[in-house]
Chain A
Amino acid sequence: MSDDPRLERRYRRLLRCYPAAFRREHEQEMLAVLMAGTTQGQRWPRAAEVVDLLASATSTRLRNRWRMSWAWEYKHWRVTVPVRVLSGIWLVALTAILYGYGIGGWWGVLLIPAALAHFYVVYRTMRHRRV
Protein backbone atom coordinates (compact mmCIF):
# COMPACT_ATOMS: atom_id res chain seq x y z
CA MET A 1 0.00 0.00 0.00
CA SER A 2 1.33 3.40 -1.04
CA ASP A 3 1.26 6.38 1.30
CA ASP A 4 2.29 8.96 -1.29
CA PRO A 5 0.30 12.16 -0.63
CA ARG A 6 0.50 13.02 -4.33
CA LEU A 7 -1.32 9.80 -5.22
CA GLU A 8 -3.99 10.57 -2.64
CA ARG A 9 -4.36 14.07 -4.09
CA ARG A 10 -4.83 12.61 -7.56
CA TYR A 11 -7.53 10.27 -6.32
CA ARG A 12 -9.22 13.16 -4.56
CA ARG A 13 -9.22 15.12 -7.79
CA LEU A 14 -10.86 12.20 -9.61
CA LEU A 15 -13.52 11.88 -6.93
CA ARG A 16 -14.53 15.47 -7.64
CA CYS A 17 -16.32 14.14 -10.72
CA TYR A 18 -19.04 12.75 -8.46
CA PRO A 19 -22.07 14.83 -7.42
CA ALA A 20 -21.50 16.77 -4.18
CA ALA A 21 -24.06 14.76 -2.18
CA PHE A 22 -22.45 11.46 -3.19
CA ARG A 23 -19.03 12.83 -2.27
CA ARG A 24 -20.17 13.99 1.15
CA GLU A 25 -21.46 10.50 1.79
CA HIS A 26 -18.69 8.35 0.28
CA GLU A 27 -15.53 10.33 -0.48
CA GLN A 28 -13.67 9.36 2.70
CA GLU A 29 -14.41 5.65 2.53
CA MET A 30 -13.75 5.52 -1.22
CA LEU A 31 -10.42 7.19 -0.68
CA ALA A 32 -9.62 4.56 1.94
CA VAL A 33 -10.58 1.77 -0.47
CA LEU A 34 -8.58 3.31 -3.33
CA MET A 35 -5.48 3.78 -1.17
CA ALA A 36 -5.81 0.25 0.22
CA GLY A 37 -5.68 -1.07 -3.34
CA THR A 38 -2.40 0.67 -4.22
CA THR A 39 1.05 -0.87 -4.22
CA GLN A 40 4.15 0.45 -2.45
CA GLY A 41 5.76 3.24 -4.45
CA GLN A 42 2.78 3.77 -6.76
CA ARG A 43 2.37 7.42 -7.70
CA TRP A 44 -0.42 7.45 -10.26
CA PRO A 45 -3.93 5.96 -10.32
CA ARG A 46 -4.12 2.98 -12.65
CA ALA A 47 -5.77 3.60 -16.04
CA ALA A 48 -8.52 1.01 -15.49
CA GLU A 49 -9.30 2.66 -12.15
CA VAL A 50 -9.56 6.10 -13.72
CA VAL A 51 -11.94 4.76 -16.39
CA ASP A 52 -14.02 3.01 -13.72
CA LEU A 53 -14.27 6.14 -11.56
CA LEU A 54 -15.24 8.36 -14.48
CA ALA A 55 -17.84 5.86 -15.71
CA SER A 56 -19.30 5.41 -12.25
CA ALA A 57 -19.40 9.19 -11.64
CA THR A 58 -21.20 9.71 -14.95
CA SER A 59 -23.78 7.03 -14.26
CA THR A 60 -24.37 8.45 -10.76
CA ARG A 61 -25.00 11.89 -12.25
CA LEU A 62 -27.32 10.55 -14.94
CA ARG A 63 -29.29 8.54 -12.40
CA ASN A 64 -29.65 11.62 -10.16
CA ARG A 65 -30.86 13.68 -13.09
CA TRP A 66 -33.38 10.98 -14.01
CA ARG A 67 -34.67 10.68 -10.45
CA MET A 68 -34.88 14.46 -10.05
CA SER A 69 -37.02 14.84 -13.16
CA TRP A 70 -39.45 12.19 -11.90
CA ALA A 71 -39.62 13.87 -8.50
CA TRP A 72 -40.54 17.09 -10.30
CA GLU A 73 -43.31 15.33 -12.28
CA TYR A 74 -44.73 13.78 -9.11
CA LYS A 75 -44.65 17.07 -7.22
CA HIS A 76 -46.47 19.07 -9.88
CA TRP A 77 -48.85 16.30 -10.93
CA ARG A 78 -51.90 18.60 -10.81
CA VAL A 79 -50.43 20.53 -13.73
CA THR A 80 -48.35 17.91 -15.54
CA VAL A 81 -51.01 15.18 -15.72
CA PRO A 82 -53.70 17.23 -17.51
CA VAL A 83 -51.14 18.92 -19.74
CA ARG A 84 -49.66 15.58 -20.72
CA VAL A 85 -53.02 13.93 -21.28
CA LEU A 86 -54.12 16.79 -23.53
CA SER A 87 -50.75 16.83 -25.34
CA GLY A 88 -50.95 13.08 -25.89
CA ILE A 89 -54.50 13.29 -27.26
CA TRP A 90 -53.51 16.25 -29.46
CA LEU A 91 -50.54 14.34 -30.89
CA VAL A 92 -52.72 11.33 -31.67
CA ALA A 93 -55.35 13.60 -33.26
CA LEU A 94 -52.67 15.41 -35.25
CA THR A 95 -51.34 12.09 -36.52
CA ALA A 96 -54.84 11.03 -37.53
CA ILE A 97 -55.42 14.35 -39.32
CA LEU A 98 -52.09 14.20 -41.16
CA TYR A 99 -52.62 10.65 -42.32
CA GLY A 100 -56.28 11.39 -43.07
CA TYR A 101 -55.12 13.98 -45.58
CA GLY A 102 -52.42 11.62 -46.78
CA ILE A 103 -49.56 13.93 -45.79
CA GLY A 104 -48.36 12.01 -42.74
CA GLY A 105 -45.29 10.53 -44.40
CA TRP A 106 -42.70 9.69 -41.77
CA TRP A 107 -44.18 12.00 -39.11
CA GLY A 108 -45.90 9.09 -37.41
CA VAL A 109 -42.50 7.76 -36.36
CA LEU A 110 -42.04 10.92 -34.31
CA LEU A 111 -45.61 11.70 -33.23
CA ILE A 112 -46.77 8.31 -31.96
CA PRO A 113 -43.76 7.65 -29.66
CA ALA A 114 -44.09 11.23 -28.35
CA ALA A 115 -47.76 10.63 -27.52
CA LEU A 116 -46.89 7.28 -25.89
CA ALA A 117 -44.17 8.97 -23.85
CA HIS A 118 -46.71 11.48 -22.50
CA PHE A 119 -49.12 8.68 -21.57
CA TYR A 120 -46.36 6.67 -19.95
CA VAL A 121 -45.34 9.59 -17.71
CA VAL A 122 -48.99 10.08 -16.72
CA TYR A 123 -49.30 6.37 -15.96
CA ARG A 124 -46.20 6.39 -13.75
CA THR A 125 -47.28 9.55 -11.98
CA MET A 126 -50.71 8.13 -11.19
CA ARG A 127 -49.20 4.87 -10.02
CA HIS A 128 -46.83 6.80 -7.79
CA ARG A 129 -49.77 8.72 -6.29
CA ARG A 130 -51.61 5.52 -5.45
CA VAL A 131 -48.79 3.89 -3.52
Chain B
Amino acid sequence: MQEATFLILTALAGGSQHGYGIITDVEQISEQRVRLRAGTLYTALERLRADGLVEVDREEIVDSRLRRYYRLTATGAERLASEAARLRANALVAMSRLDPVGAR
Protein backbone atom coordinates (compact mmCIF):
# COMPACT_ATOMS: atom_id res chain seq x y z
CA MET B 1 0.00 0.00 0.00
CA GLN B 2 1.40 3.41 -0.95
CA GLU B 3 1.96 5.92 1.80
CA ALA B 4 -0.56 8.39 0.33
CA THR B 5 -3.23 5.67 0.27
CA PHE B 6 -2.40 4.65 3.83
CA LEU B 7 -2.67 8.26 5.02
CA ILE B 8 -5.98 8.85 3.21
CA LEU B 9 -7.49 5.75 4.81
CA THR B 10 -6.09 6.82 8.19
CA ALA B 11 -7.67 10.26 7.79
CA LEU B 12 -11.04 8.63 7.07
CA ALA B 13 -10.68 6.20 9.98
CA GLY B 14 -11.49 9.09 12.31
CA GLY B 15 -14.84 9.75 10.60
CA SER B 16 -16.11 10.95 7.23
CA GLN B 17 -14.35 13.92 5.60
CA HIS B 18 -14.49 15.96 2.42
CA GLY B 19 -11.60 16.43 -0.02
CA TYR B 20 -9.95 19.47 1.52
CA GLY B 21 -10.49 18.03 5.01
CA ILE B 22 -8.56 14.92 3.97
CA ILE B 23 -5.69 17.06 2.63
CA THR B 24 -5.30 19.08 5.82
CA ASP B 25 -5.72 15.99 8.01
CA VAL B 26 -3.09 14.03 6.07
CA GLU B 27 -0.76 16.98 6.43
CA GLN B 28 -1.27 16.90 10.18
CA ILE B 29 -0.97 13.12 10.54
CA SER B 30 2.30 13.12 8.59
CA GLU B 31 3.63 16.11 10.55
CA GLN B 32 3.62 18.42 7.47
CA ARG B 33 5.62 15.91 5.46
CA VAL B 34 2.91 14.89 2.99
CA ARG B 35 0.81 17.50 1.26
CA LEU B 36 -1.59 15.75 -1.11
CA ARG B 37 -2.48 17.56 -4.31
CA ALA B 38 -5.97 17.54 -5.74
CA GLY B 39 -5.12 15.29 -8.71
CA THR B 40 -3.37 12.67 -6.58
CA LEU B 41 -6.15 12.73 -4.01
CA TYR B 42 -8.98 12.20 -6.47
CA THR B 43 -7.31 9.46 -8.52
CA ALA B 44 -6.62 7.70 -5.21
CA LEU B 45 -10.21 8.17 -3.99
CA GLU B 46 -11.57 6.93 -7.32
CA ARG B 47 -9.41 3.80 -7.11
CA LEU B 48 -10.27 3.20 -3.44
CA ARG B 49 -13.95 3.56 -4.28
CA ALA B 50 -13.67 1.08 -7.16
CA ASP B 51 -11.96 -1.37 -4.77
CA GLY B 52 -14.70 -0.88 -2.19
CA LEU B 53 -12.43 0.58 0.52
CA VAL B 54 -14.15 3.97 0.73
CA GLU B 55 -17.62 5.23 -0.20
CA VAL B 56 -19.47 8.51 -0.47
CA ASP B 57 -21.05 9.45 2.85
CA ARG B 58 -23.02 12.60 1.98
CA GLU B 59 -22.94 15.82 -0.03
CA GLU B 60 -23.26 19.40 1.08
CA ILE B 61 -23.18 22.76 -0.65
CA VAL B 62 -21.01 25.28 1.21
CA ASP B 63 -20.54 28.79 -0.27
CA SER B 64 -22.10 27.47 -3.52
CA ARG B 65 -19.40 24.82 -3.75
CA LEU B 66 -19.94 21.08 -3.64
CA ARG B 67 -18.54 19.18 -0.68
CA ARG B 68 -18.65 15.43 -0.92
CA TYR B 69 -17.85 13.52 2.25
CA TYR B 70 -16.15 10.15 2.06
CA ARG B 71 -16.07 7.42 4.66
CA LEU B 72 -14.24 4.16 5.22
CA THR B 73 -16.13 0.93 4.42
CA ALA B 74 -15.82 -2.19 6.60
CA THR B 75 -13.43 -3.67 4.02
CA GLY B 76 -11.42 -0.43 4.07
CA ALA B 77 -11.11 -0.54 7.86
CA GLU B 78 -9.97 -4.15 7.66
CA ARG B 79 -7.32 -3.39 5.05
CA LEU B 80 -6.06 -0.39 7.00
CA ALA B 81 -5.86 -2.45 10.21
CA SER B 82 -3.84 -5.21 8.59
CA GLU B 83 -1.54 -2.71 6.88
CA ALA B 84 -1.00 -0.83 10.16
CA ALA B 85 -0.20 -4.10 11.95
CA ARG B 86 2.32 -4.99 9.25
CA LEU B 87 4.01 -1.58 9.48
CA ARG B 88 4.14 -1.76 13.27
CA ALA B 89 5.73 -5.22 13.20
CA ASN B 90 8.38 -4.01 10.74
CA ALA B 91 9.04 -0.85 12.74
CA LEU B 92 9.41 -2.80 16.00
CA VAL B 93 12.00 -5.10 14.48
CA ALA B 94 13.91 -2.15 13.03
CA MET B 95 13.91 -0.27 16.32
CA SER B 96 14.89 -3.25 18.43
CA ARG B 97 17.84 -3.99 16.14
CA LEU B 98 19.00 -0.39 16.12
CA ASP B 99 18.71 -0.06 19.86
CA PRO B 100 18.23 -3.43 21.59
CA VAL B 101 17.98 -1.89 25.05
CA GLY B 102 15.67 1.07 24.33
CA ALA B 103 12.97 -0.79 22.37
CA ARG B 104 10.27 -2.70 24.17
Contacts and interface: CB of A to CB of B under 8 A. Distances in A.
Interface of A: 22, 25-26, 28-37, 48-49, 52-57, 59-60, 63
A29 B67 contact: yes
- For the residues of B in contact with A, the DSSP-based class is helix
A49 B37 contact: yes
Contact of A33 (B41, B43, B47): B41
B25 to A, nearest CB: 13
Interface stretch (B16-24, B85-93, B94-102): B16-24
- For the residues of A in contact with B, the DSSP-based class is helix
11 contacts: A25-B46, A26-B42, A29-B66, A30-B19, A30-B42, A33-B41, A37-B23, A48-B37, A53-B38, A56-B42, A60-B43
A73 B46 CA distance: 23
B38 A22 contact: no
A35 B37 CA distance: 12
